Amino acid sequence: MEDLKDVILEYVIAEYASEDDKLTYDTPLISGGLVDSFSMVSLKRFLEVKYKISIPDEDASPEAFDSVNKIADLVKRFTG
Amino acid sequence: MSYGERTRTIYQQQLNEIREAGLFKQERFIHSPQAADIEVEFPSGADIKKVINVCANNYLGLSSHPEVVRAAHEGLDQRGYGMSSVRFICGTQDIHRELEQVVTEFLGTEDTILFPSCMDANAGVFEAILTKDDIMISDRLVHASIVDGMRLCSAEHDTYKHGDMGHLEQKLQQWKDKRLRVIINDGVYSMDGDTAKLDEIVKLAEVYDALVFVDDSHASGFIGKTGRGTHEKCGVVGKMDIITTTFGKALGGASGGCVSGRKEIVEMCRQRARPYLFSNAMAPVIIAGVLKAFEILNRSTELRDKLEENARYWRKGLADAGFILKPGDTPIVPVMLFNAKLSQDFSRDLYAEGIYAIGFFFPVVAKGQARIRTQISAGHEKHHLDKALEAFIKVGKKYQILGKTAEEIIAMYGM
């Protein structure tokens, strides 16, 4: 599980963060204004390719993508 | 369905949620033409107050320019009030095509098509020219109308960090197998006042065989030595594949917009862009006014030169007083306050001092990045700017933020 979270955190930092941002597993990404809902699509695409899953649009809500912890929970649902 | 109590309650609850979130927008009624000096009723029912406007997109002061107003009157007399048709049925007058040719020459492109607004141009262009086999790669801070246009298009989309050329290049590599790649930017970013690095973007586009799109709504008419726009400033006139822009800001400020660029792309918009195909043609009175605005700009660079000087004077005055500004060299000068409530209190106090400027905060800008966005005009005279500076300094002293660092202001007021 920690590996999954670390992979997601690493991607989020590289894709969305600036040098000043200090991110943790719980940092609010969308409600905190770091990731906008339009840019979120690259994260969803990354998860789907990396973990060979398909996340339906209705499950890819801003709430479900709002922290590394929540994203990890979402991925686990689809990877079993 | 009747509009019963249940339905009314649904909307009232939603409106209350907007109010509780502090996002309820209240309009101020202006009782005079748009200009540096305006007469405002705010709140509704209050006495009319004379204030200096430092938040209009009236960059060149053309919104109420006597020549533009006269030309609009003549257009009204000679070509009537409305077209009562879309362009392709019976809505195209000679002056519509004339304006398209004038814009093409001014921007240094191959062809132009008019839209009812730049919002419509951005909403229609991507869907008209791209398919699911293509990729749109946009800067993360592009205007909401571009985001809406991309959402309406079947092509895939991706984003890159604002102004980060390394990140853009990664994305271009990632999407190298797509049929078409389009790099999408604003020319001048409206909330920060910074400029797209179009010279570097064009180089990347050449390496990775991508099209370059720029929305120059906050640039057309005044950015660049002769006001052609961001592409002129960056030395890449003739290399833009798609420029969208508005006539609702510097170019008379009424309404209307366009897509200007490669002739095949413009023709695809004429055949396929839904906001073009299903909206009325621009009213002749506005076409006549915009034509005069371009005539004024083609005659002399006096207005954009004055704007540049005004913006420099304003930026230096604020910086010398100790305000924190977003760096840049455009007439958009954001005064950083960081805290949302402070930005609203500051705006209210400026209004009491006779200065009309608006505070912006999340979600319009990033969290903790609240600001007063000021916009300078060639319609401002030095006495306007001096009075506005005086007011900013007075209010800045009240809140004890002059000369303070961002960290110090955040420590005093929070994010």
Mean pLDDT, range B257-271, rounded to an integer: 98
Same domain, B43 and B181: no
B63, B117, B190, B260: the active-site residue: B190
Same domain, B132 and B46: no
d(CA B8, CA B332) in angstroms, rounded, equals 40
* Interchain pair B157, A16: CB under 8 A: no
Same domain, B116 and B45: no
Sign for the CA dihedral angle at B127, B132, B137, B139 comes to positive
- Sequence-ordered alpha helix ranges (H) in B21-143: 66-79, 94-107, 118-129
- In order of B194, B310, B315, the CA distances from B61 in angstroms are 21, 12, 19
d(CA B370, CA B337) in angstroms, rounded, equals 6
Confidence band for A2, pLDDT divided at 50, 70 and 90: low
Choose among B157, B362, B366: nearest Cβ to A41.
B157
The rounded mean pLDDT for chain B is 97
Same domain, B185 and B161: yes
d(CA B159, nearest CA chain A) in Å: 6
Residues B351-364 have pLDDT tens digits of: 999 999 999 998 88
Would B12 be classed as within a structural domain?
A: no
Confidence band for B25, pLDDT divided at 50, 70 and 90: confident
Q: Of B284, B299, B314, which residue constitutes the final position of a domain? A: B299
Q: What domain count does chain B have?
A: 2
Confidence band for B22, pLDDT divided at 50, 70 and 90: confident
For residue B156, what is the nearest residue in chain A, using CA coordinates? A41
Which tokens belong to A18?
């600036």
Torsion (CA) B25, B30, B33, B35 in degrees, nearest 10: -70
d(CA B266, CA B129) in angstroms, rounded, equals 9
Whole-complex ipTM = 0.88
Mean pLDDT, range B275-280, rounded to an integer: 97
Report whether B115 contacts B259 (CB < 8 A): yes
Same domain, B40 and B87: no
Q: Which domains does chain A have, with CATH numbers?
A: 2-79 (1.10.1200.10)
pLDDT at B105 over 80: yes
pTM above 0.90, yes or no: yes
Same domain, B360 and B217: no
Confidence band for B369, pLDDT divided at 50, 70 and 90: very high
Torsion (CA) B217, B221, B227, B233 in degrees, nearest 10: 0
User: Is B176 a known active-site residue?
Assistant: no
- In order of A63, B236, B304, B320, B368, the CA distances from B226 in angstroms are 48, 14, 8, 29, 37
* Interchain pair B161, A36: CB under 8 A: no
Q: Does any CB of chain B come closer than 8 Å to the CB of residue A38?
A: yes
List the strands of the sheet with B242-246, edge to edge.
B111-115, B257-261, B242-246, B211-215, B181-186, B135-139, B156-160
Would B4 be classed as within a structural domain?
A: no
Same domain, B270 and B146: yes
On chain A, the residues whose CB falls within 8 A of the CB of B368 are 33
Same domain, B31 and B88: no
* Residues present in chain A in total: 80
B65, B231, B249, B292: the active-site residue: B249
What per-residue confidence (pLDDT) applies to B1? Answer: 65
pLDDT at A1 over 90: no
Q: Which residue has the higher pLDDT, A2 or B408?
A: B408
Confidence band for B415, pLDDT divided at 50, 70 and 90: confident
Mean pLDDT, range B85-105, rounded to an integer: 98
d(CA B182, CA B137) in angstroms, rounded, equals 6
pLDDT at B286 over 80: yes
Mean pLDDT, range B14-19, rounded to an integer: 95
Q: Does any CB of chain B come closer than 8 Å to the CB of residue A79?
A: no
What per-residue confidence (pLDDT) applies to B6? Answer: 95
pLDDT at A19 over 90: no
- Domain residue limits at B402: 27-56+302-413
